[in-house]
Structure 1
Amino acid sequence: MRILLTNDDGINAPGLNVLERIARQLSDDVWICAPSEEQSGAGHSLTLNRPIRLHKHAERRFSVTGTPTDAVTMALKKVLPGPPDLLLSGVNRGANLGDDVTYSGTVSAAIEGALAGIRSVALSQVYVKEGMADAVPFHAAEAWGCKLLKSLIDVPFAPRTLVNVNFPPLAADDVKGIRVVRQGFHDYARGSVVEGTDPRGYRYYWFGLHGIEHTSGHDSDLEAIADGYVAVTPLQLDLTHEASLALLRERLA
């Protein structure tokens, strides 16, 4: 089984090393093609206004000067000798829950794989303590990642779908299990815009996305993580709101 690994935190991210250790428990045909620098929040963007450069770091290990989508595109068209059987994106440093998936470069890399007809999974490690982004504990992802993926390998994926996985911010032994749940909802209306002044005296702004949870019950990814479970959410690429089709056709006919 050929596995392609990518991410949005960059080729040198600790989470990518975690993902490689997970993948090598499944196969010895593992390839890596990731952005050369961090691309968090890049979403499903594609670089069109400048050339992309491809760097080979080692056998089957490459980086590109672009977005996660660029990395997957280059891997499929220029790096791999043939299409992979599985694409894994992550393990992201931080959550990709609820509406985060629309911003996430991690999820978008898996979206690009799904568009190419490849079984694709995005994996993210939630962490809770402020100021520890450079020292995220990936214990839950490392302990549960392979177990979860082994269960997914033979599951049929519908066309143009992918699976989004989030690991709770717990020690491996404290994780309660796995829940298959729907995507939750954040309210980013209260997200902050931090204003400051750089050393040369110029004003700058920094976005802070601190969402308010807006889901009820225990059937969303947000609640699953809060309850101490690994959250597994199937996502589809068709964004059509079916319930509105008839109304709009009637009004706009």
Structure 2
Amino acid sequence: MKILLSNDDGYQAPGIIALYEAIKDLGDVEVVAPEHNNSAKSNALTLYAPLSVRQANNGFRYVNGTPADCVHVALTGLLGYRPDLVVSGINNGANMGDDTIYSGTVGAAMEGYLFGIPAIAFSQTQKGWAHIESAARKARELVQHLVGAGAPESSPWLLNVNIPNLAYEELKPFQVCRLGRRHAAEKVISQTSPHGETMYWIGGAGPAKDGAEGTDFHATAQGHVSITPLKVDLTDHEALRAWGRSVPGAREAAGA
């Protein structure tokens, strides 16, 4: 088993170190992660600047780019082989509901998925790395199960996993659930620079809008580890026929 490990918090983050230590004996684990924190970079690729790859003293390789850059570079030339699994995390904070659209953690895993490789994104629900060893232990359990032929036959697949910041003994079983939804983000924070210019900081994520039973928000609030299978198709399939009727001269494409 060959596993590519990445994240969005940077190669020195406690989450990726704990996850590496937890899964390193499950196969050949190669770390290629961002040099610096790249939270909320989603699937962004660096197209107009060169990327460099360096190696840290612990053997981790790091890239001066985004999480997706790291996985893309690894898969298209750096590794020289095709890994069996791409794992991303453990992220410092939740990636639930709408977070998955912006998440660099999910973006790194999704890059592997787009290359046809099964992938998992792991996050803790609260920032601060509390009980990170417990989260890593739970992540190991899932990886070990999936690489032991426990995954569905369809491949590739992409999983988004959120782990409550609890002691291992307090964590409840895995729960497969859908994504919830958040309210709109909080207001931007404005400041005045020393030169008198107004600067803006993006506000925090809003609270849960849809945290009903069956969602990742509800599962993790109850102490469960949430697992949500993701897909990339953004097509609004239910609306295809309506748009075909609404646009003059348009018709629904065969096979749509």
Please report the TM-score for the alignment, with normalisation by the length of structure 2: 0.90
Q: Is 1:30–2:29 an aligned residue pair? A: yes
| Structural mapping, 1:184-195, within 5 Å | 184-188=180-184, 190-195=185-190
Q: Which residue of 1 aligns with 2:67?
A: 68
Unaligned runs of 5+ in 1: none
* In 2, Cα distance between equivalents of 1:107 and 1:250: 36
| Structural mapping, 1:172-183, within 5 Å | 172-183=168-179
Tell me the CA shift for residue 50 of structure 1: 1.0
Q: Which residue of 1 aligns with 2:9?
A: 9
CA deviations over 1:50-77 (Å, ceiling 9, x no partner): 1111112258521111101110011112
* In 2, Cα distance between equivalents of 1:169 and 1:106: 17
Q: 1:157 to 1:163 in 2, by over 3 A?
A: farther
Q: Which residue of 2 aligns with 1:165?
A: 161
Q: Which residue of 2 aligns with 1:235?
A: 230
Tell me the CA shift for residue 78 of structure 1: 2.6
Residue 246 of structure 1: which of 236, 241, 250 is its match?
241
* In 2, Cα distance between equivalents of 1:25 and 1:159: 24
| Structural mapping, 1:44-193, within 5 Å | 44-58=43-57, 61-127=60-126, 133=128, 135-153=129-147, 154=149, 155-156=151-152, 158-159=154-155, 161-188=157-184, 190-193=185-188
Q: 1:158 to 1:60 in 2, by over 3 A?
A: farther
Percent sequence identity over matched residues? 38
* Structure 1 residue identity aligned to 2:215: S
* Structure 2 residue identity aligned to 1:84: P
Q: Secondary structure of the residue that 1:107 maps to in structure 2?
A: helix
Which has the higher mean CA deviation after the structures are superposed, 82-91 or 52-61?
52-61
CA deviations over 1:171-204 (Å, ceiling 9, x no partner): 111112110000111111x512111234554431
Question: Number of paired residues?
Answer: 246
Tell me the CA shift for residue 18 of structure 1: 1.0
* Structure 1 residue identity aligned to 2:162: N
Tell me the CA shift for residue 245 of structure 1: 0.9
- Aligned-pair Cα RMSD in Å: 1.8
CA deviations over 1:108-131 (Å, ceiling 9, x no partner): 111100000111000001116xxx
CA deviations over 1:121-156 (Å, ceiling 9, x no partner): 00001116xxxx4x5431431231111222222213
* In 2, Cα distance between equivalents of 1:227 and 1:59: 37
Q: 1:248 to 1:225 in 2, by over 3 A?
A: same
Contact 2:187 2:202 in 1 (8 A): yes
Please report the TM-score for the alignment, with normalisation by the length of structure 1: 0.91
* In 2, Cα distance between equivalents of 1:164 and 1:227: 18
Contact 1:195 1:206 in 2 (8 A): yes
Q: Which residue of 2 aligns with 1:218?
A: 213
Contact 2:180 2:217 in 1 (8 A): yes
Contact 1:177 1:229 in 2 (8 A): yes
Q: Secondary structure of the residue that 1:22 maps to in structure 2?
A: helix
Unaligned runs of 5+ in 2: 251-256
